[in-house]
Amino acid sequence: MLRIAIAQLNFKIGDFESNTSKIADALFTAKNQGVDLVVFPEMSVSGYMPDDLLDYPSFVEKCEYSLDLVAQSCQGIAAIVGGVMRNPGKGRLLQNVCCFMQNGRIETIIPKTLLPTYDVFSESRYFESATSQQVISFKGVNIGIAICEDLWDLYNNFEYTKSPGEALKELGADLIINPSASPFHLGKDSHRNRVFSGQVNRFNLPVLYVNQVGVHTELIFDGSSRAVNNNGEIAVQLPDFESCIRTVEFGENGFIPGENAVSFDSDPLPQLYKGLIFGIRDYFDKMGFKKAIIGASGGVDSALVQTLAVQALGAENVLAVMMPSRYSSDGSISHAQALSKNLGNECIQIPIEEIHQAYENSLSPYFKGLPIGIAEENLQARSRAVILMGLSNKLGYILLNTSNKSEMAVGYSTLYGDLCGSLSVIGDVYKTQVYALCRYINRNEEIIPNDIIEKEPSAELRPEQKDSDSLPPYPILDGILRMFLEEFKGENEIIIEGYDMHTVQRVLQLVNGSEYKRYQAPPILRVSSKAFGKGRVMPLVAKYP
């Protein structure tokens, strides 16, 4: 019987001292519990993904040194630890590797074969692929190591020319271990179920999947590690968005089912809610931030972000700032005040009328004779941004952006105004999802005032302004955006689905015409399969469609 510890831990990119300390602590604890082998996630020593830090030789040297240091802790216990090492052969200078360690040293180095270069991944930019596979014999079990993508070869929009899993099967593997750095998005858990049930059936081999947890810039890693038998049964599944270590026993009949298997709700809202809170909390923790500041408009977007921030950071660490203008309704002010009262966070009011008027007076000689329009509206949004950033600089509060994905997609936001912030919390959450999340938060009690949820959305930058003056109804807008952004459907394909031709054309023009704004947006927590940011690289100067 082989006792294996699944070390689902949270690592920080480049923090070699902390990362190696976590690994050493896990090894010490596991050894005292009689564990034979501890498996850590992909690139656990360095953190995933270091990107151009890999261009610095000193970074790679520290990673290799840390791997050697960890190996010294493997006395009386074995480990599989991920990191980066220099490529001893031709091609790219580096390899993404997992090291099998025991007896105080690295015994086997397994490089990654399939290097994802799509969406948020760019591994072939840095790493050379392995040219062959090998099986490790440990305590009577032939172990094949397939690093992350190496076991996902049939589950993309293309098929790789190599199958590391097939090669490991042919080499006589009894078990495939899959150390991973697989980021979260809605629907990912169902996708993982399809991948692992498909692969264990394909190879007739059990699979141990060990995924990291944590936030690296915009990427959220949810863990959800698991041990899957060759009949598709999940013997053990670890919780999502939580660091933990679980032990599973592997014998002649595969993994012995544990009592700590986790079942997930099929409703995506609880996962989205947990993921966003975890995203804020871990981002702040790793950046060394403590307090957040939010522009409180009395609208549904800022209400949602404020609620999430309070859940993530605590009410005492969240400051809401109301900044009414000449166009703000009394309801917006009272709704924002009611929300802060319900949440228990501080809420202050700084009117922008004098600031806005001063800007208009200064610019009036140059605006003279021109009709009042979007420039005057945007002056209000930019006045608010100046106030928020002034407070941020002075008080050390970090500004959270409150723009949703629907608005960011069509450019319904002001550059250097409401697009400001250090982190975009809901920039990958459609407006319809915003409403659904607010109702989910209120499922047991009214936390976000229902008046905020029920009132018609408005930017309140001109008299009687409504979002519907400028945009299609959000259910229609979001339907078009999902097909264009996430399903990669073109204009004609979307129209065939039943959407009005002129509406589709207008929406797509807005999306493509707003690329320059998103280029300057803050990092966006990724919760969909295609988020704005590093996973969607578009030319600024282009004409399509």
Query: Residue 128 and residue 358: Cα distance in Å, rounded?
Result: 58
Give the position of tokens 């933990």: 244
Query: Which of 199, 203, 192, 213 is closest to 22 using CA atoms?
Result: 213
Cis status, amide bond into 545, omega within 30 of 0? yes
C-alpha separations of 150 from 100, 199, 290 in Å: 17, 11, 38
> How far apart are alpha carbons 44 and 61 in whole angstroms?
15
Closest to 45 (Cα-Cα) out of 28, 60, 30: 60
Q: 């550059």: which residue's tokens?
A: 415
Residues 304, 434 contacting (CB under 8 angstroms): yes
Compute the distance between CA of residue 103 and CA of residue 115 in angstroms, rounded to an integer: 30
| 456 carries an active-site annotation | no
Q: In the annotation, is 42 catalytic?
A: yes
- Which residue spans within 439-507 are E strands per DSSP? none
The span from the CA of 207 to the CA of 82, in Å, is: 17
Peptide bond into 49 cis (omega under 30): yes
Sheet holding 135-138, edge to edge: 135-138, 141-145, 175-180, 207-211, 226-228, 234-237
Report how far apart, in Å, the C-alpha atoms of 148 and of each of 55, 203, 207, 531 are: 22, 16, 12, 21
CA–CA distance, 85 with 29 (Å, rounded to integer): 27
Instruction: For strands 219-222 and 318-322, give the pairing.
Output: unpaired
**C-alpha closest to that of 544 among 492, 508, 516:** 508
Which residue among 148, 347, 420, 438 is the active-site one? 148
Identify the residue whose tokens are 């407070």.
391
Known catalytic membership, residue 74: no
Do 232 and 30 touch, CB atoms closer than 8 A?
A: no
Among residues 534, 511, 510, which one has the least CA distance to residue 523? Answer: 534
Q: At what angle do helices 330-343 and 300-313 cross, to 10 degrees?
A: 20
Kind of pairing between the strands at 135-138 and 105-111: unpaired
- Eight-class DSSP state of 422: S
Asked if 194 and 232 touch (Cβ cutoff 8 Å), the reply is no
Choosing from 12, 22, 62, 112, which is the catalytic residue?
A: 112
| SS3 call for 260 | coil
SS (H, E, C) 167-192: HHHHCCCCEEEEEECCECCCCHHHHH
Q: Which of 12, 42, 169, 407 is catalytic?
A: 42
Contacts of 278 (CB under 8 A, 6+ apart): 215, 220, 222, 241, 312
Cα distance from N-terminal residue to C-terminal residue, the chain: 60
**Residues with Cβ < 8 Å from 66, sequence gap 6 or more?**
16, 19, 20, 45, 46, 83
Q: Which residues form the catalytic set?
A: 42, 112, 148
